[in-house]
């Protein structure tokens, strides 16, 4: 461990710049303008100082005095640090989807993931990419989630959308809607429920998470009148999950479930396909929503929005979701440390939960709110 790391107890969080022609640099610069960010986190931007300077000057954005580094162990703890992923001349075309922007997004992601694999950074916050222009012989994935799962050799994972009041995962991700029914199996649903349960406990500190499972068909099929997936696939998966000790319930009709605020009674919700989960999530939590890849051995979060090419150069993009992504990454780092610590010292866990214990380690246990489920009102 180098001297900087020995003295710096802040979590080291990498930020990959994503697509340079979208709103990414606007939200990054706005988020880092808050001086508290530097006080709480050691943020390293994997990007380009040239691009940062371009948007600072052309849009009159916050002037961040970045410290250029080539190695993550050479950071200046008093400044935000940046690793230039490309020193060549860069053609910036705000609001346009270009192949060069896709290549730069991949270069930043590749370098950040390499540092993540080596343990140089503790978490990665990925700014949005353009899923079309980033495609190449090096990157042939539907998005960050699948790429990271392969990089970290993870078979069972889930895209989890997180806000202060809602957590939604999806069984099937970025696939055509006509393929959803065939893709859903009892085994796949059970796998996602297991990942969700573990993440709720390990990443969010919820000891007995309750998970709601949505149906696939309208009205959750009305007892089999509108499709058979609920009876033949989803219900058997829920029953298997319950036998495995998972507090899974459903299937619930998606429209009534959110309209009646039933989601507030659960710690997490498992949707069957992308839009079934993301439409209500973005309707209820778009401004502060975060995308978290649960099931990975590393911590990765992202804003719950895209590159927003239509908003570029208007100075209207909100940095809130990116800021929340950084906050969540840090929280998960701490929750994992706490769980790892007590996993190795089970006797201390018993002492910590005893209200009368005077064990010195009680103070670092995550708090559990009374009369609630994981902080969500019943």
**Per-residue pLDDT, 47:** 97
The backbone torsions φ and ψ at residue 158, rounded to the nearest 5 degrees and listed phi first, read -155, 140
Whole-model pTM: value is 0.87
**Per-residue pLDDT, 373:** 33
**Per-residue pLDDT, 73:** 82
**Per-residue pLDDT, 35:** 86
Place of tokens 């190795």: 344
**Per-residue pLDDT, 162:** 97
**Per-residue pLDDT, 77:** 87
Going residue by residue through the chain (378 aa), what tens digit of pLDDT does each one get?
A: 444 444 678 999 999 999 999 999 999 999 999 988 999 999 999 999 999 999 999 998 989 999 999 988 888 888 999 999 998 899 999 999 999 999 999 999 999 999 999 999 999 999 999 999 999 999 999 999 999 999 999 999 999 999 999 999 999 988 999 999 999 999 999 999 999 999 999 999 999 999 999 999 999 998 888 999 999 999 999 999 999 999 999 999 999 999 999 999 999 999 999 999 999 999 999 889 999 999 999 999 999 999 999 999 999 999 999 999 999 999 999 999 999 988 776 655 444 444 433 443 323 333 232 333 333 332
Half-sphere exposure of 29 (CA within 13 A, CB side): 26
**Per-residue pLDDT, 325:** 97
| 67 neighbors 79 (Cβ within 8 angstroms) | yes
Domains of the chain as residue ranges with CATH: 1-154+296-311 (3.40.718.10), 156-295 (3.40.718.10), 345-371 (no CATH)
């Amino acid at each position: 461990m180098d001297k900087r790391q020995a003295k710096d107890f802040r979590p080291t969080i990498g930020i990959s710049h994503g697509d340079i022609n979208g709103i990414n640099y606007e939200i990054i610069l706005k988020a880092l303008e808050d001086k508290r960010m530097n006080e709480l986190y050691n943020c390293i931007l994997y990007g380009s100082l040239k691009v940062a300077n371009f948007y600072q000057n052309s849009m009159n954005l916050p002037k961040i005095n970045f410290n250029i580094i080539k190695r993550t162990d050479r950071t200046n703890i008093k400044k935000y640090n940046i690793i230039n992923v490309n020193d060549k001349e860069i053609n910036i075309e705000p609001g346009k989807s270009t192949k060069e922007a896709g290549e730069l997004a991949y270069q930043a992601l590749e370098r950040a993931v390499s540092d993540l694999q080596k343990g140089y950074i503790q978490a990665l916050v990925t700014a949005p990419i353009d899923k079309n222009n980033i495609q190449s012989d090096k990157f042939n994935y539907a998005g960050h989630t699948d790429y990271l799962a392969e990089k970290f050799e993870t078979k069972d994972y889930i895209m989890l959308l997180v806000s202060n009041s809602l957590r939604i995962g999806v069984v099937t991700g970025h696939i055509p809607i006509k393929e959803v029914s065939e893709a859903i199996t009892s085994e796949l649903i059970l796998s996602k429920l297991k990942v969700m349960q573990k993440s709720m406990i390990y990443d969010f500190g919820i000891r007995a998470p309750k998970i709601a499972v949505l149906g696939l068909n309208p009205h959750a099929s009305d007892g089999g009148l509108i499709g058979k997936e609920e009876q033949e696939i989803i219900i058997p998966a829920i029953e298997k999950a319950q036998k495995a000790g998972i507090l899974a319930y459903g299937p619930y009709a998606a429209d009534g479930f959110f309209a009646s605020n039933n989601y507030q009674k659960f710690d997490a919700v498992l949707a069957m396909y992308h839009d079934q989960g993301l439409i209500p999530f973005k309707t209820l939590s778009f401004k502060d929503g975060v995308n978290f890849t649960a099931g990975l051995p590393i911590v990765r979060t992202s804003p719950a929005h895209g590159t927003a090419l239509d908003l570029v150069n208007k100075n209207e993009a909100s940095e809130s979701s990116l800021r929340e992504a950084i906050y969540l990454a840090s929280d998960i780092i701490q929750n994992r440390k706490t769980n790892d610590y007590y996993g190795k010292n089970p006797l201390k866990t018993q002492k910590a939960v005893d209200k009368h214990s005077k064990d010195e380690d009680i103070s670092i246990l995550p708090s559990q709110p009374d009369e609630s489920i994981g902080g969500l009102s019943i």
